[in-house]
Amino acid sequence: MSEEKSTWRKWALFGAGAVALSAIPVWLGLSHAVKGVALPIALFIWFVVYLAYVFFGTARLKAGQIGPVMKRYRRRLAVALMSYCLVLMGSIWLLHRMDLSGPLLWIVAAAPAIPILGVLVVMGLYLKEEPDEFERAVHVEAMIWGLGVVLAVTTVWGFLSNANVVPAPPLFLVFPLFCLSWGLSQPFIRRRYQ
Amino acid sequence: MKNRLKVLRAERDWSQADLAERLEVSRQTVNALETGKYDPSLPLAFKIARLFGQPIEAIFQDEA
């Protein structure tokens, strides 16, 4: 029991660290402390540090609980997210600096979605490769919760924006919302089986 | 579903981690099986039965 309590405290501390790190890009964007080309470079460095914090932090907190397939999934995910960050910055830069049109504009505009589709493939591969059926079941259940949250939020938001109460929902944020609710629902699902 | 996993494991003096390793699953999975809150698939149930050398119905009890 006391062990469980101290684990909660460690997770809370880890979460607080993650929130504090999340404030850095907001501060960078608002303060104009870093300008020009230095800003995307600073943001990329921040992103790599953030990924490393989450990756190694969770690995330490879940020491001994991460199987080989999960490790592979996490490595693939880190690669996909890092390429997403690079492609996104490249795409934004090209859209602002170049006067693109036609198919090239389509390709440059849609390019950041490609690594995100890669994340979907990485998730699918994990479910396919995970040999532990309970782990698989927990993840599938958590994904359904993620799906539920996304459907609920976008449906309510859709009707609100139909009535011009709020602006149209930013569709690219649907996927991060799915991932967030997938991740956050997991501890609650696991608790039910204890 | 009720089961005798905890008793069978204690008889052999195995920890949850020991049983998890023998079944090639995580310790959390063993825990979920023992509390009876997660019912294993047929392949895993057969694996458990083989490991303990008993028929499935001697390990898992249908409450119906």
All structural domains of chain A with their residue ranges: 1-66, 132-194
Per the structure, how many domains does chain B have?
Answer: 1
The answer to whether residue B64 is domain-embedded is: no
The answer to whether residue B37 is domain-embedded is: yes
| Vertex A141: Cα angle to A140 and A146 (nearest 5) | 95
CA-based nearest residue in chain A for residue B31 = A194
> For residue B50, what is the domain's CATH number?
1.10.260.40
Using an 8 Å CB-CB cutoff, list chain A residues near B37.
192-194
Q: In this predicted model, what pLDDT tens digit does every residue of A120-175 receive, in sequence order? A: 999 999 999 999 999 999 999 999 999 999 999 999 999 999 999 999 888 888 99
H or E segment to which residue B60 belongs: strand B60-61
Whole-number Å distance between alpha carbons of A186 and A3:
19
| Collapsed DSSP state (helix, strand, coil) of residue B31 | helix
The answer to whether residue B12 is domain-embedded is: yes
Q: Provide CB contacts within 8 A for B60, sequence distance 6+.
A: B1, B2, B3, B39, B45
Residue position matching structure tokens 């693939």: A76
The answer to whether residue B40 is domain-embedded is: yes
Using an 8 Å CB-CB cutoff, list chain B residues near A190.
28
Domain span at B53: 2-59
Burial label, A12 (beta-carbon count in 10 A; 0-12, 13-18, 19+): exposed
CA-based nearest residue in chain A for residue B25 = A132
Q: In this predicted model, what pLDDT tens digit does every residue of A62-107 receive, in sequence order? A: 777 777 888 899 999 999 999 998 999 899 889 888 888 889 999 9
Using an 8 Å CB-CB cutoff, list chain B residues near A137.
38
Whole-number Å distance between alpha carbons of B50 and B24:
14
Closest by CA position to A177, among listed A131, A124, A116: A116
The CA distance from B17 to the nearest CA of chain A, in Å, is 10
Complex confidence, ipTM: 0.89
